Structure 1
Amino acid sequence: MNTIFIKNMVCNRCIMVIQNELNKLGLEAKSIKLGEIIFEKELTQKEKKQLEDTLVPLGFQVIDNKKSRIIEKIKNIIIDLVHHQDNHIKTNLSEVLSSELHHDYNYLSNLFSEVESTTIEKYFIAQKIEKVKELLVYDELSLSEIAFRLNYSSVAYLSNQFKKVTGLTPSHFKQIRADKRKPLDKV
C-alpha cells in the first residue's frame, strides 16, 4: 500500500473534492480521510506529478517530509475533535495526540511550535473559537449549550477566551453578525 499525505484537507467536502479529482485522473484510492489518501498500489512518478498538479490549484499540497506530515496530522486530529466530534473527549489533548501519533507530547509540541510559530494549545483554542463563531451564527444553541458542547468548564471561561481571541464578547459578535444579515426580500 502507498499513502500520500495531503495538506489543507479540513472537512468532508475536501474528501469529496479529492475523490472527484482522483476519479478524473483514473486513480483508485483504497481510502481517503483528512490529510491522507491510501492507494492499493504504488503510484508512478507520473501519477504522483499529475496528482500534485491537479491538487495544488485547488488549495491542497502533497506533503513529502516526515515533520510536515506530523504537523498536518496534529491539525487534522484537532479539527476532527473540535468540528466533527463536538469535543466530547474526557481525556486531555496531549494524551489524545500522543496516543494517536505514537510520539511523546513534548516532541509533538516542540515540533509544532518550531514549524507553525504557535503552540498546539493556541491552535486548539483558535479552532474552538471558530466553532463557537459558527454555532453563534447558526443561532440554534444558547451560550451555555455551546460551552457544554465544546467542553468549556463555564460560560464565563468561554466568554473570556472568546474575547481574548476575537476582541469581542460572544453577544457583541452575534449582534454584529445579525446586523450584517439582509432580509430575504433585500437579497
Structure 2
Amino acid sequence: MKIFIRNMACESCKVVVKEALEELNLHPEKVELGMAETKEDLDAKTKEKLNQMIQKVGLEIVESKGGILIEKIKHYCQEYVNNAEKINSNISEYLQKKLDKDYNYLSNAFSEVTSTTIIMYVNLLKMEKAKEMILFEEHNFTEIATKLNFSNLSTFSALFKKITGFTPSYFKKLKEKRRKAIQNLTKDLKHKN
C-alpha cells in the first residue's frame, strides 16, 4: 500500500517513517521522500496510529487527492534536483512525463496549495543542495553550477545571492571562519589544561 507523507525533506525523515512502520509490525518495501510503500494494507486504526507517531516530528499522512498530487510534485522536484546533472529536460517536461498531466495544471495546483511556484520551489531545493555541496564536498562553484544544471556560473551565483543573501564565495568564507573559530576554541581548551 502506498502512503503519501507531507513534510518529508531529508534522510532522517525516511528513517523515522521506516521505524514507525516497523514498530507497527508493518513491512516497508520502499520509503522515499514524500511516500512509503508497505506489503500490507493499512486499516484506519493503524493508519491513525502511524500518523500520530510521525506527527511528533512534523510529518503527516496525506489522504486528499490534491494533497497527494502536491506531495508527488515535491517528490519529483527533489528527484529532479538530486539528479539534475543526468536529466536532459527542464522541470516542466520532467513533471509532465512523471505525472502524466499538463504542466499548467500541475503548476496552478501547486501554487494554489503552497503559495509559491514550482520553479521557485525547485530553485530553493537547488540552493539547499548548493549550500550542502559548499559545506561538505570538494567542488568548486563552476562544478556545483554544472551539477545543478545551471547554464553558467553567473546565473548560479546570482540566484544563490538572491535566495541566501550571500554570494557563494562569501558563504564559503563564513564556513571557514566558523571552522577556524571552533579550532581556536579547542586550542584554548588545551592551553587551560
- TM norm. shorter chain > 0.5: yes
- Separation (CA, whole Å) in 2 of partners of 1:100 and 1:86: 15
1:163 corresponds to: 161
- C-alpha displacement at 1:86, in angstroms? 4.7
Aligned match of 1:177: 175
- Whole-Å separation in 1 of the counterparts to 2:51 and 2:137: 39
Match of residue 126 from structure 2:
128
The Cα of 1:16 is off from its aligned counterpart by: 2.4
CA contact (8 A) 2:6 2:61 kept: yes
User: What amino acid does structure 2 have at the position aligned with 1:145?
Assistant: E
Which stretch shifts more, 151-160 or 14-23?
14-23
Aligned residue for 2:69? 70
State TM-score, norm by structure 2. 0.88
CA RMSD of aligned residues (A): 1.8
Q: Kindly state the Cα deviation for residue 21 of structure 1 after the two structures are TM-superposed.
A: 1.4
Question: Secondary structure at the residue paired with 2:97?
Answer: helix
- Which protein is bigger by CA-based radius of gyration? 2
> Is the Cα–Cα contact under 8 Å of residues 159 and 169 in structure 1 kept in the other structure?
yes
- TM superposition shift of 1:60: 1.0
| Whole-angstrom CA distance in 2 between matches of 1:127 and 1:87 | 14
User: How many residue pairs are counted as aligned between the two chains?
Assistant: 185
Structure 2 counterpart of 1:114, one-letter code: E
Per-residue CA shift, 1:64-87, capped at 9, x if unaligned?
A: 11111111111111112223x254
CA contact (8 A) 2:80 2:91 kept: no
* CA shift digits 1:63-120 (9 cap, x unpaired): 011111111111111112223x254211111011011111110000001111111100
Instruction: State the 4+ residue runs in structure 1 displaced beyond 3 angstroms.
Output: none
> What is the SS of the residue equivalent to 2:81?
helix
Question: Residue type matched to 2:133 in 1?
Answer: L
Identity of aligned residues (%): 39
Following the alignment from structure 2 to structure 1, what is the Cα–Cα distance between the partners of residues 71 and 85? 19
3-state secondary structure, aligned to 1:141: coil
Which deviations, in whole Å up to 9, do the C-alpha atoms of 1:7-32 show, x marking residues without a partner?
Answer: 12233332222111111111223332
